Amino acid sequence: MSTTTNPVTLKELKAADPRWCTGCGDYTILVGLRRFMVQRQIDPVNTVNVSGIGCSGRLPHYMNTYGIHSVHGRAIPVALGLALGRPELKLFISSGDGDALSIGGNHLIHGIHKNFNCVFVLFDNQIYGLTKNQTSPTTKKGLVTMTQPQGSPLSPINPVQFALGLGATFVASTAEWMGQHFLDTLDVAYQHPGFSFVHVAQRCPKFNPSAWNHEDSRWISFLEHDNGVPADRKAAPDATVVAHDPSDMAKAFEHANGLTTSFGLFYCQERPRYDTLTLDATEKAVKKDKGSLLDSFAI
Ligand code: SF4
Ligand code: MG
């Protein structure tokens, strides 16, 4: 990767040419992430993109930052290791609905619980795309997939409720086709000290074109607050806008249950972080050990 980091430009952040299907929402997530890094002038030399397996897993190859394309569902423990070993690094995790909520569900529970500092981006296309059309945890009931030709029999997991229920300190939802909303969501997520859970509605024209209706915005409801993410009226002119205080957990659950799909900042609350607590405890222990070592030489 490049070592010239000032200023950070879109050109500099480009790496290998992306290889996703035509019209895939992963392109807009990739471009949005690059634009965000330019907007914030985030140094790629101090940035790591970590992913699991799936179409989303390719993202680190396309960003000229450090990157780890890890094991299925295991991006979170890899990122946690980085957070503990190199706390100065900026961590972005890319994970799909299958990777995060099925194979990596256990790690997601503990990533949220440990509340270590990272931006976790959940690419939700409601299907397994890379392995070609299997039912995922967020697949809509009744959708015909390769694994369930009679239609998926279960109601999907709601990722926002899942994160709220686990006590996540930051929960937001956005859509990749709403460029400004996506950027603004990344911005508040990045500023949050802890595990920032960002759900992203993502188009998969290849295997699940009916997942998100990006041409009609009447089904969308934006959650707005001074401390949240502004509604993106340009991208979704027919959406409704609802005032929501992101410190209100009960209301956040209500919005996550709503018949329309809400986008915006659901919940944000600072809490102790495993990474800082662990590093502080380690520093104290090292100091104590050094003290005893010096004591042992004292005459
Ligand atoms: Fe994108 Fe779907 Fe193709 Fe994967 S299978 S690259 S998610 S369109
Ligand atoms: Mg998927």
Q: How far is CA 287 from CA 21, 36, 277, 281, 291, in A?
A: 54, 39, 15, 10, 6
Whether 238 and 180 have beta carbons less than 8 Å apart is answered as no
| Ligand 1 atom closest to residue 129's alpha carbon, by position in its atom list | 5
Tell me how far apart the alpha carbons of residues 163 and 200 are, in angstroms, rounded to a whole number. Answer: 13
**Ligand 1 atom 2: the closest Cα is on which residue?**
204
Would residue 206 be called left, alpha or beta, if left means φ above 0 and alpha means ψ between -120 and 50 degrees? Answer: alpha
Q: Are strands 261-268 and 170-175 parallel, antiparallel or unpaired?
A: antiparallel
Tokens matching residue 65 = 């930052």
Whether 244 and 224 have beta carbons less than 8 Å apart is answered as yes
Rg (CA), the chain: 20
Compute, in degrees rounded to 10, the torsion defined by CA atoms 216, 240, 35, 108.
-100
Tell me how far apart the alpha carbons of residues 97 and 162 are, in angstroms, rounded to a whole number. Answer: 12
Tokens matching residue 202 = 């993502």
Read off the pTM.
Answer: 0.95
Distance 123 CA to ligand 2 centre (A): 7
- Fold category of 10-271 in CATH: Rossmann fold (3.40.50)
Q: What was the pLDDT predicted at 292?
A: 67
Q: What was the pLDDT predicted at 49?
A: 98
Would residue 115 be called left, alpha or beta, if left means φ above 0 and alpha means ψ between -120 and 50 degrees? Answer: left
Nearest to 191 by CA among 65, 36, 296: 36
94 alpha carbon, closest ligand: 2
Helix/strand/coil for 126: coil
Q: What was the pLDDT predicted at 5?
A: 58
Q: Are strands 118-124 and 47-51 parallel, antiparallel or unpaired?
A: unpaired
Verify whether ligand 1 is closer than 6 Å to residue 131 (CB atom). Answer: no
Mean pLDDT, consecutive 10-residue stretches, the chain (299 aa), reads 74 96 98 98 98 98 98 98 97 98 98 98 98 97 97 97 98 98 98 98 97 95 95 97 97 91 97 95 86 60
Q: What was the pLDDT predicted at 147?
A: 97
Compute, in degrees rounded to 10, the torsion defined by CA atoms 65, 66, 69, 73.
-100
Tell me how far apart the alpha carbons of residues 169 and 118 are, in angstroms, rounded to a whole number. Answer: 12
| Ligand 1 atom closest to residue 123's alpha carbon, by position in its atom list | 7
Verify whether ligand 1 is closer than 6 Å to residue 204 (CB atom). Answer: yes
**Ligand 1 atom 5: the closest Cα is on which residue?**
129
